[in-house]
Amino acid sequence: MKTIRLRIGLALLVSSLTTLAMAQVTTPAIPTAPASPTVGGAIKDTSVTPGSSATMTVSADANATDTHLDKAVAALDKGDKATTTQELQAGISGLEAEAQAKPTSFKDKLLAQASKLKALLPLIPTGALGSGVLGKAVSLAKLASGGNKLEGILAAGSLLGKGSQLTSGLSGIGSALSGLGGGSSSAGKSILSAAMATVGKLDQGGLVAKAAEPAAKSEISSLLNFVKGAL
């Protein structure tokens, strides 16, 4: 009986091992799915758009233009010819860009002042350009720039809520008038002071702002007429 049981056990063991071996041979291996691309990689591929930074940096900013022109005068006072040339060229480019980006009735006057500044560039390296001459030319250019800026705001329509923009434009004209000096400067500052007092009310809202708007338009228009005459 023991011999019979041993034989039966061996037979069952051999049968089990055979079945296991056949299963390993016939069962196909399941391929490993390829790793999906990471989200970070996708973002990295599309994060840079050609020309986007250039689009953001190209603008006709009158305030930046005025800064370049003022720096040119300051550099000439110090005898720094290289910086004077660099800042003046930047200011001229700003004036030309402003004339094209925000064309008003001041466009031709703005371009004319830019041309006059260009004519001064060859005089800088030779030392023939005095700071007084450059300062007056810069003041006239800033006057044209300020007039162009203010007229652009007026042409856009309602002045309500635009008090700060108008104040910025008026301040630029005030700075230019100070640089010019003389009797015309005093007359212009009188008109300027009245306009400054009025535009400050445009940001107050309600009836105060609405009541101030017609007066602001009238005073700014008078100032612009004065500026055109000065140019």
Q: Cβ neighbours of residue 227 under 8 Å, at least 6 residues apart?
A: 143, 144, 146, 147, 173, 188
Alpha carbons within 13 A on the beta-carbon side of 183: 0
Whether 218 is in a domain gets the answer: yes
Whether 43 is in a domain gets the answer: no
Whether 68 is in a domain gets the answer: yes
Q: C-alpha dihedral over 61, 66, 68, 70, to 10 degrees?
A: -170
- Quickly state the pLDDT bin for 118 (edges 50, 70, 90): very high
Whether 74 is in a domain gets the answer: yes
Q: Cβ neighbours of residue 177 under 8 Å, at least 6 residues apart?
A: 139, 143, 184, 185, 188, 189, 192
Question: pTM value?
Answer: 0.70
- pLDDT tens digits, 163-218: 999 999 999 999 999 988 877 678 888 899 999 989 989 998 899 999 999 999 99
- Quickly state the pLDDT bin for 15 (edges 50, 70, 90): low
Q: What is the pLDDT of residue 53?
A: 35
Q: Does the structure show a pLDDT above 60 at 60?
A: no
Mean pLDDT of 138-150: 95
State the amino acid at position 107 in one-letter form: K
Question: Which domain, by its residues, includes 140?
Answer: 60-230
Q: What is 112-131 written as a DSSP string? A: HHHHHHHHHTTHHHHT---H
Whether 35 is in a domain gets the answer: no
Total domains, the chain: 1
Whether 64 is in a domain gets the answer: yes
Tokens at residue 5, please? 């049981």
Whether 175 is in a domain gets the answer: yes
Mean pLDDT of 40-45: 37
Whether 137 is in a domain gets the answer: yes
Distance CA 216, CA 219 (A): 5
